[in-house]
Amino acid sequence: MTIPLLGLGTFRLKDQVVIDSVSQALELGYRAIDTAQIYGNEADVGHAIAASGVARNELFLTSKIWTENLGADKLIPSLKESLHKLGTDYLDLTLIHWPSPKGAVPVAEFMGALLEAKRQGLTRQIGVSNFTIALLRQAIEVVGAEQIATNQIELHPYLQNRTLVDFMHEQGIAVTSYMTLGYGKVLHDPLIQQIAERHGATPAQVALAWAMQLGYAVIPSSTRRENLASNLKAAQLRLSEQDMAQIAGLDKGERLVDPESLAPAWD
């Protein structure tokens, strides 16, 4: 199973806002939905899915295990609770949201539990998020690189994370980019705007197309139907080699997500 290149993110969306976002996205043709235990919206996402009438086997659902649930005694029960909230018997992809703060729960413990969840049929694929090369090496030692479907990381034109991406490519681990629009900063970049103008596209479409053209999955979120529809069209935009080279030159290592209590020692 491969991870869809374009999905809907639901970070910071709650209650009726997330219900409306997911409902509209499904109407427009989105079939991959990304949520997480800590988002506090799994039940609302499940409600929107149930009301949509879209068959479960047409969807690709991802959720993420929060740090408080990484212990071997908590991971699978918490995943079952997520499944109940989402109204499904399985996830297509389950990720470790952040590595355990200060290594409180060993990588071997939570990766072993996550693999067991896959063996039990609770999730089709497993992976990680916000993992460095060092942490990926530890995870690979436990479950094997072939079991790690993706590492979901902050990645946008201003933070291209090439060292980590190169290692993931060597290991056959797919890249999922979150914050692909850089909290909207990228949309105001003069170069991105110039490329968008050349293609008759929006800056958001250019940033998303850039990531997808590199083979990265993207999960942009939006609460506006017109933006949801516009983002979906990014999959049809083809950037030139010159466009791609110019965007590559925007990298400045600008990390926007770096929570002190959670962040590992970044590569």
Whether the CB-CB separation of 70 and 97 falls below 8 Å is answered with no
Q: Which of 239, 251, 245 is nearest to 189 (CA)?
A: 251
Catalytic residue among 30, 39, 158, 178: 39
d(CA 49, CA 43): 10
Average pLDDT over residues 162-178: 98
pLDDT in tens, 153-168: 999 999 999 999 999 9
Average pLDDT over residues 101-120: 98
Whether the CB-CB separation of 47 and 19 falls below 8 Å is answered with yes
Encoded amino acid at 98, one letter? W
Residue 212: enclosing H or E segment and its boundaries? helix 203-213
Which residue carries 């992976």 as its tokens? 127
pTM flag (> 0.85)? yes
pLDDT in tens, 209-260: 999 999 999 999 999 999 999 999 999 999 999 999 999 999 999 999 999 9
Angle at 75 (CA atoms; ends 70, 80), nearest 5 degrees: 150
Q: Which two tokens stand for residue 61?
A: 């659902």
Average per-residue pLDDT in the chain? 98
Is 39 known to be catalytic?
A: yes
Average pLDDT over residues 26-55: 98
Whether the CB-CB separation of 127 and 148 falls below 8 Å is answered with yes
At 199 the pLDDT is 98
Q: Which of 195, 201, 209 is nearest to 242 (CA)?
A: 195
Long-range contacts of 119-123 (CB under 8 A, 24+ apart): 120/76, 121/89, 121/90, 122/76, 122/79, 122/80, 122/83, 122/90, 122/91, 122/94, 123/79, 123/90, 123/91, 123/92, 123/93, 123/94
At 263 the pLDDT is 97
At 72 the pLDDT is 97
Which residue carries 């949201």 as its tokens? 97
Domain boundaries, the chain: 8-181+215-223
Query: Confidence class of residue 1 from pLDDT cuts 50, 70 and 90?
Result: low
Average pLDDT over residues 170-184: 97
Report the percentage of the chain scoring pLDDT > 70. 100
The topology (CATH level 3) of 8-181+215-223 is TIM Barrel (3.20.20)
Q: Where are the beta strands (DSSP E) in the chain?
A: 8-9, 32-34, 60-65, 91-96, 123-129, 148-154, 174-178, 217-218
Average pLDDT over residues 51-76: 98
Encoded amino acid at 239, one letter? L
At 220 the pLDDT is 98
Q: Which of 184, 204, 181, 17 is nearest to 25 (CA)?
A: 17
At 111 the pLDDT is 98
Q: 17: burial class by Cβ within 10 Å (0-12, 13-18, 19+)? A: middle
